[in-house]
Amino acid sequence: MTFNIHHGRGIDGKLDLRRIKDVIKSSRAEIIALNEVDKEFSFRSKYVDQALWLAENLQMNYVFGPTIHIKTKNRTRQYGNALLTRFPIESSCNHPFDFLPSFMENRGLLEVHVNINGKVISCFVTHLSFAPFLHQQQARFVLSKVRETDQPTILMGDWNMRPSSKSYSEVTQHLVDAKSSDGLDYTFPSKRPKVKLDYIFVSDGIKVIHAAAYTFNVLASDHLPFVAEMDVL
């Protein structure tokens, strides 16, 4: 599953992380990529460590990859990506996009190595800029990191792109898009989705069985999660 949770604030304007938890739980997903996750960030999310809260309430392992750090007297406020999983985590690394102009929102790539029944899988989580002039640069950086691993790979996140874009073409030269066979791909906006922004890509060694946007509770975020069932070969 890949899910932009909008720091737990739904499309109805209500802050309720329990709805995010319920969506994930009902899907029975075993690896979950999360975007727009707060860690003691501000009053908007009641200073909750959201990745930790979700991991504890879903009884999962997790890694948080901050992309924004704001130091105050009492805490370091952070925001970024996360990965939850039922499987053991072998290692992780957070790759900031340190090539971005200082006035742009910081973004990054979270890399997590997960042990699935004795086989290690490389999972990547990212959230790219909507601005075309930055998007391509970020996408190429992500692909460069993906190509460094020789393990089966799952790349997930809010890519802020359409299948007709140049970045999509570049990604799918190396990875397979876990597309819905039923055309149920649109993830944004959650209530009446008109575009696909959230993607799951896989490498050789992983077979996609089924994929679709997940509509358990369309109010939980401003994005729908996108879910893929797959086999590790």
> Would you state the pLDDT for residue 131?
86
What band does 102 get if pLDDT is binned at 50, 70 and 90? low
Q: pTM of this prediction?
A: 0.96
Q: What percent of the chain has pLDDT over 90?
A: 82
The contacts of residue 122 (CB under 8 Å, 6+ apart) are: 111, 112, 113, 146, 149, 151, 152, 153, 154
pLDDT at 15 over 70: yes
> Would you state the pLDDT for residue 99?
77
End-to-end CA separation in angstroms for the chain: 19
Q: Is the dihedral of CA 6, 10, 14, 20 positive or negative?
A: negative
The C-alpha atoms of residue 127 and residue 197 are separated, in whole angstroms, by: 10
Q: Which helix (H) or strand (E) holds 84?
A: strand 76-85
- Per residue in 49-83, pLDDT tens? 999 999 999 999 999 999 998 888 888 899 999 99
- Per residue in 177-226, pLDDT tens? 999 878 789 999 999 999 999 999 999 999 999 999 999 999 999 999 99
> Would you state the pLDDT for residue 182?
80
Domains of the chain: 2-232 (3.60.10.10)
CA nearest 22: which of 191, 217, 157, 193? 217
CA nearest 198: which of 216, 182, 178? 178
